[in-house]
């Protein structure tokens, strides 16, 4: 990938994450990247094409992050890895996660399909642990992690590691 193309992607990711997809113009992206708007169109066709390129790259990263959880055989380790995931996320990945939340909130980005392997793994774990309603137990944990992720991204989660430790203890890990 060319340096200019990388700069366009980085600028778009930052602006989409902060301002939202709809509120970000291709002109603003081009200015932030230090390129012409025409070059942006040459590489990505339009703003939607740029978003799709970012999502493709991000979804590849998500698959890499999900693999250790999905491949894990030990139920307690599955839970530990899932709970710890947002707390171990490097700061440089925050803009991608902000973008995902922006999309979920603003254009109904269907992220549930992307999380299906993790959801299925958690249901299997809770089934194996004898929980009375594994799908609801899974939904509750995923909502807790979603909420913690939002707090981390916004900087509003008080004592993130204490929260992580509380969740680990709640699940006897």
Q: What is the pLDDT of residue 49?
A: 93
Cα dist from 140 to 69, 106, 146, 173, whole Å: 17, 23, 10, 17
Q: What is the pLDDT of residue 112?
A: 66
Q: Which residue has the tokens 């200019």?
A: 4
The predicted model gives 118-146 an average pLDDT of 96
Position 106 scores a pLDDT of 65
Confidence of residue 108 (pLDDT cuts 50, 70, 90): low
The predicted pLDDT at position 107 comes to 61
Beta-carbon neighbour count of residue 122 at 10 Å? 24
What are the tens digits of pLDDT across the range 28-55?
999 999 999 999 999 999 999 999 898 8
Residue 130: Cβ-neighbour burial (10 angstroms; 0-12, 13-18, 19+): exposed
Structural domains of the chain sorted by starting position, each given as residue range(s) with its CATH number in brackets: 3-170 (1.10.357.10)
Q: Is the pTM of this model over 0.75?
A: yes
Q: Dump pLDDT digits (tens) for 11-25.
A: 999 998 888 888 999
| Mean local confidence (pLDDT), 108-113 | 65
pLDDT tens per residue, range 74-104: 999 999 999 999 999 888 888 888 888 777 7
Query: What pLDDT score does 36 carry?
Result: 94
């Amino acid at each position: 990938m060319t340096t200019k193309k990388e700069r366009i992607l980085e600028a778009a990711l930052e602006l989409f994450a902060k301002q939202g997809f709809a509120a970000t113009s291709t002109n603003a992206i081009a200015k932030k990247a230090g390129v012409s708007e025409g070059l942006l169109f040459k590489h990505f066709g339009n703003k939607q094409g740029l978003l799709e390129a970012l999502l493709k790259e991000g979804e590849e990263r998500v698959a890499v992050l999900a693999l250790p959880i999905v491949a894990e055989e030990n139920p307690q380790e599955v839970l530990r890895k899932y709970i710890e995931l947002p707390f171990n996320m490097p700061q440089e990945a925050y803009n991608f996660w902000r973008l995902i939340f922006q999309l979920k909130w603003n254009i109904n980005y269907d992220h549930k399909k992307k999380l299906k392997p993790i959801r299925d793994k958690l249901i299997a774990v809770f089934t194996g642990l004898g929980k009375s309603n594994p799908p609801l137990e899974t939904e509750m944990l995923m909502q807790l992690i979603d909420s913690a992720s939002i707090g981390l991204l916004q900087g509003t989660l008080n004592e993130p590691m204490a929260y992580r430790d509380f969740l680990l203890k709640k699940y006897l890990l």
